[in-house]
Amino acid sequence: MSTFGKHRRLQDEDEDLLYKTQQTTIRRRLPWSAVEMTDRRRINGPTGATRAPVFVSCADVKDKSAFERPARTRDAKELRKIYLKTGVIPSASGSAYFELHPSNSNTSGSLIPPSSSLKLICSVNGPKPLSRSTPFSPNLLLSAHVKFAPFAARRRRAHVRDMNERDLGVHLENALRGAIIGDRWPKSGLDITIMILEGEDDRWWGDMSTAETLTGSDGWGMMNILAHCVTVASAAIADARIDCLDLVAGGVAAVVEPSSSAEGATTSTKMVVLDPDPSEHSNISSACVVGYMPSLDEITELWLKGDMAGASADGTYASPNHDALMDGAIAAARASHSVLIEAVKESAEQAVSKTANNKQHDSSSEMEI
């Protein structure tokens, strides 16, 4: 064999040895092969191939009622069913969960619900001392934050708070500030945080296809959210054992035009309805939200929006009447206040019974010793 052939064979052997060494090093460093390599610090999907879910098309639904706007079956002065529970977050000073049952249940074969629901969870932290750099304050410093979960609306929301969420926080802070006895906690802070797990839509989903944005430009759903944020925050404050003048309840009322298909409805007749569902009304001309303390008969927050032309309490007036709309919102707040009182009483009874059981257990243990 020539010298060139020997040199070429030695070069090939060196390359094979280098390749085997590299492969051995890779296998020692990785617990799996290169094909099954995964990142243990992240949640990985299945290793096998998966198919994307295929949902039933709305066009295949035989029940055509799924494509029609849901009609209001409640009376004009009747509210939707409310579920309120306190003490749902053990790590917080006070907490509450609020759920508004949808007025129209999904009985059709469509995957799209006829109307949205409302789910809120509130946590209260404090009163807690402020930092040394904060100027002295003789009263309690209240801070309210309202945040939509990314999955709360039909269109996914960003993690950063937008203008609507800041607006809700300001209105909520104003509604609660008048009820809390702040001079009992000088140089202390109270943080109230509300997470909207499911938000109410501003209009029916069938109207959203022609709208510019899914969140809506009217903001009727925001007014419903604010009213119930006041209620759930008041329940969380009571759960935190913070002294207040009264429990603040939120109420909302709206001036709507009956649909043309309704019996006896005319285009000029408007009426005031309590707890309006924006998906049930095609034309909402104005709405009003109040934060109300029934024991003192005082309003801590008032937000009125829209055109009041032709509104009345019973639908018979033709002149503007802001008092009729405010009275409707106060009536809704009184109804919500009854649910709030029952939830706070139930929480207090559970706390008293738990304390009594603990004392009885301690006394029995001392007798045994």
Q: Is residue 254 assigned to a domain?
A: yes
Angle between helix 220-239 and helix 322-368 axes, rounded to 10 deg: 30
Between residues 274 and 10, the one the model is more confident about: 274
Helix/strand number for the chain, H first, E second: 4, 9
pLDDT of the residue at 29:
52
Query: Comparing C-alpha atoms, which of 57, 148, 73, 150 is closest to residue 109?
Result: 57
Q: Is residue 35 assigned to a domain?
A: no
pTM: 0.75
In 170-309, DSSP assigns E strands to 188-198, 249-256, 271-274, 284-293, 298-306
Q: What does pLDDT average to over the chain? A: 79
pLDDT classification of 31: cutoffs 50, 70, 90: low
Query: What is the percentage of the chain residues whose pLDDT exceeds 70?
Result: 66
Half-sphere exposure of residue 353: CA atoms within 13 angstroms, side-chain side: 6
pLDDT classification of 354: cutoffs 50, 70, 90: confident
pLDDT of the residue at 102:
78
Question: Which CATH number is 245's domain given?
Answer: 3.30.230.70
On the question of pLDDT at 342 being above 80, the answer is yes
pLDDT classification of 216: cutoffs 50, 70, 90: very low
Q: Is residue 287 assigned to a domain?
A: yes
Domain that holds residue 198: 74-104+114-357
Query: What is the percentage of the chain residues whose pLDDT exceeds 90?
Result: 40
On the question of pLDDT at 318 being above 90, the answer is no
Asked if residue 287 lies in contact with residue 305, where contact means CB atoms within 8 angstroms, the answer is yes
On the question of pLDDT at 145 being above 90, the answer is yes
pLDDT classification of 196: cutoffs 50, 70, 90: very high
205: Cβ–Cβ under 8 A, 6 or more apart, which residues?
112, 154, 279
The total number of structural domains in the chain stands at 1
